[in-house]
Amino acid sequence: MNENISTAFSGLTDLASERNGGKAIKASDEFFAEKENLLKEGRGIFIPDKFTDKGKWMDGWESRRKRVPGYDWCIIKLGAEGIIKGLDIDTNHFLGNHPPYASVEACRIDQKDLNNKKAMSGKINWTEILPKSPLEPGSQNLFAVSDFNFKKEKWTHVKLNIYPDGGVARFRVYGEVFRDIENFKDKKNLTDLAGLMNGGKVLVCNDMFFGSKNNLISPGRSKNMGDGWETKRKRTPGHDWVILKLAAAGYIKKIIVDTNFFKGNFPDSCMIEGCFEPDVEDDTLTSNNIKWNTLLPVSKLKGHSLNNFSKVLSKTGPFTHIRLNIYPDGGVSRLRLFGYAV
């Protein structure tokens, strides 16, 4: 509920985000505004003169005024199974119509739940991970999931309960993606070992003036030039770089350096290195003691393109971490590292 908690969420993945595959699958009521808005990007916007035939248009999930006992709720399927560490119940622009209280429950459905029938059946045993807590209007209401046991549990669905009714602009579920490494060991069906929703992480870079390093491993192709990693124009000797941690130690057999939307500002070339450091602390990967081996030699890049590399890759590995070097600067929208785990 303060700056310290907000800082603690950095480096975590929004498991519920629509962009990351999250889906609002059922709500008790969505009379004024649809449940799907909860998982969209940004904090939501407000258009003073915009109305619908049901009332004021709101960029969030909003239920009608409750005239009977009970409370409203929304069930969300996470984009990936994961460990939940923090929550953001954002009531941005909801001032006289926000819920005074909210709670959050979670569950794990082991088998495939086709068409979300089990999740919506009402037969789920939900576990409360956030007790009924007060909400401030027009605010990001931040909560740490503090119970030690919950920090080990892996969840697939969450349920946002609001008391008794009202509107929430956005709902964020911050945590760490969990994937069974055994599923990554198939040598014929390669996995993107750097993919965010497979458990990959972007750890550090030397510059991200125009675009966040975290965009590099986001799902799908970028939607615009701002949805990638972009450095400032380099006016001094040297080059830019970024270091990633793979979801599992493995061999890389195919690389895609996607420069989508970068046309006059893509890097001239790139080089990719890897290291095997399963026990190293993240903050020591920039040390001169780390031995990096060349995976992809310096190679020319094309702008606004999927730059594919496979035959030129060295037969080194396995790797736990990857360093992408770009020369001298510029923007890369996505980096895909297809391989198999060991």
Q: Over range 197-218, report the average pLDDT.
A: 97
pLDDT for 277-336, tens place per residue? 999 988 899 999 999 999 999 999 999 999 999 999 999 999 999 999 999 999 999 999
> Is 3.90.226.10 the CATH classification of the domain at 3-177?
no
* 6: pLDDT strictly greater than 90: no
* 251: pLDDT strictly greater than 80: yes
Same topology for domains 3-177 and 182-341, yes or no?
A: yes
Find the DSSP H helices in the chain: 3-8
* Closest among 318, 323, 315 to 249, alpha carbons compared: 318
Q: Which helix (H) or strand (E) holds 175?
A: strand 170-177
Residues belonging to the chain: 342
Domain range list for the chain: 3-177, 182-341
Residue with tokens 């060349």: 294
pLDDT at 4: 57
Q: Residue 224 carries which DSSP code? A: S
326: its two tokens? 């770009």
pLDDT for 15-51, tens place per residue? 999 999 999 999 999 999 999 999 999 999 999 999 9
Q: Are 90 and 38 in contact (CB under 8 A)?
A: no
SS3 336: strand
Fold of the domain spanning 182-341: Jelly Rolls (2.60.120)
* 150: pLDDT strictly greater than 70: no
Left, alpha or beta for 110 (phi > 0: left; psi -120 to 50: alpha)? alpha
Q: How far is CA 268 from CA 4, 213, 292, in A?
A: 40, 18, 22
Q: Are 222 and 318 in contact (CB under 8 A)?
A: no
* 104: pLDDT strictly greater than 90: yes
